[in-house]
Amino acid sequence: GTAEIGLIGLGTMGSALALNIAEKGFDIAVWNRTPEVTRDFAKEAGELAPRVTPTETLEELVAAIAEPRAIILMVPAGDPVDQQMAALRPLLGPDDLIIDAGNANFHDTNRRAAEDGGPFLGIGVSGGEEGARHGPAIMGGGDRANWDRVAHILTAISAKYQDHPCAAWMGEEGAGHFVKAVHNGIEYADMQMIAEIYGILRDGMGMEAAEIGDVFERWNDGPLDSYLVEISAKVAKATDAATGRPLLSVIEDAAGQKGTGRWTVIEAQHLGAPIPAIDSAVMARNVSARRDLRAEGERLFGRGPETMPDAPALETLEKALIAGKIMCYAQGFSMIARASDQFGWALPLPEIARVWRAGCIIRSEMLNDMASALTDDPSRLLIFAPDFAERVKDTQESLRETVIAAQRAGIAVPALGSGLAWFDLIRTARGTADMIQGQRDFFGLHGFVRMDTGATDQHGPWAG
């Protein structure tokens, strides 16, 4: 065969990625479990058709690709990946590379890298359909030598921030999928914090959806310039075709989730890495899905007042969102640093920030500054970097004012609130765990450390 790469799985993301690859000048062979899907794809490839070889069996696919082969899997995460690999590997030569580009749990990618035996990469691809078609962010994991074999293709199809390609090798085994999971956790928290501000504007200040869209649109021209704020403006301004009402007023308030945010939270617990803004975002999605429960809660307890007596100024809300965003990223990057230590990966924090600048769902201008701050010192907590410390000093009072006003009015702001609580913990040199240690010693003689002498395994008067 002569195709430079193969792709299995012509769903939304797979087709978009295949067209992107073809458009960048690479010959690609494609296969889908249902042959009609492959035929339709080939028909719709239009002027890119000469670069696309549709195949109807796995054998045909393998034969169409030049050796040593590289084949991308874009099938649903989980069992389908294992099944597809089991069907494919026996047809391949010893140097043929399988690339899982789905949203795999990085533990599965670690396992597959160990079990598969052949060359294998797990790559996190972000940016939805539009990104896959015109330039996603790509986070690669596996043996560096295998990444190098396909880096020219993955770099070519990736998004570019100025001239910098948003595709990079993150480390061995499941490192790419791990970084993608943290990306998705941050995505959840970013979305949740925007939704919380939306709640204040809607319920606390009585603003119409379209007005809220205008606010977000304005903010998108400032420090909050980001894809998620941009699309939030568009969502808020959209009108429902059937009723002529704001689209938001007809969308059910129950969030879906495929599990990546949850994985991040579970992993953070294993790592002992606090990511409360992300925890809160996952929690809020779970509560959102319990509509009956919430209706019962409102019947029993009533809801917050219709409007906030002390509604913060729009500029205060903007600054609160800036502060919340910084807290959330500081937590996410710190979790990545922790994983580097624990998993023996050298996850490149500045490069991760650079890769996230374009193509992916959490892309934003602020990530460029984060990349600079992390380049200066990757091991320092992001809010301690001088540039970000200044921003936090400038915005934390607004975050506080916003959280207090929302909480007084009974408007839930879990992600903003937990981001603030985390910040207050971080900037309290003398904390309250002396009480925890005293309690532990009281009921279990667990011992404490004296601060004055440094003596360890000390006990209170209840001992002995």
In the complex, least distance from residue 259 CB atom to ligand 6PG, rounded to whole angstroms: 6
Q: Take residue 306 and report the two structure tokens written for it.
A: 């219709």
Binding site for NADP(+), residues? 9-14, 32-34, 75-77, 103
φ, ψ for residue 107, nearest 5 deg: -65, -40
Other CB atoms within 10 A of residue 205 CB: 18
User: Which amino acids are annotated catalytic?
Assistant: 180, 187
Binding residues: 9-14, 32-34, 75-77, 103, 126-128, 183-184, 188, 258, 285, 440, 446
282: its two tokens: 């996952």
Q: To the nearest whole angstrom, how small is the minimum distance from the Cβ of residue 281 to ligand 6PG?
A: 10
Query: Under the rule (CB under 6 A), what is the footprint of ligand 6PG?
Result: 103, 126-128, 184, 187, 256-258, 260-261, 360-361
Residues in the chain: 464
Measured from the CB atom, the residue of 180 and 338 that comes closer to ligand 6PG is: 180
Can you name the residues that pair with 226 across neighbouring β-strands? 364
* CB nearer ligand 6PG, residue 175 or residue 207: 175
Bond into 378 cis (ω within 30): no
Closer residue to ligand 6PG (CB): 257 or 437: 257
Question: Can you tell me the distance from the alpha carbon of 386 to that of 373, in angstroms, rounded to the nearest whole number?
Answer: 8
Residue 261 C-beta: closest distance to ligand 6PG, Å: 6
Tokens at 391, concatenated: 């921003």
Closer to ligand 6PG by Cβ: residue 256 or 464: 256
Q: Please, which residue, 12 or 269, has the CB nearer to ligand 6PG?
A: 12
Question: Residue 19 CB, nearest distance to ligand 6PG (Å)?
Answer: 17
Reported for 225-232, long-range contacts at CB under 8 A and 24+ positions apart, including other chains, are: 225/364, 225/365, 225/366, 226/190, 226/362, 226/363, 226/364, 226/365, 226/366, 227/361, 227/362, 227/363, 227/364, 228/187, 228/190, 228/191, 228/194, 228/361, 228/362, 228/364, 229/194, 229/364, 232/194, 232/198
Looking from the CA of 431 toward its CB, the CA atoms found within 13 Å total: 11
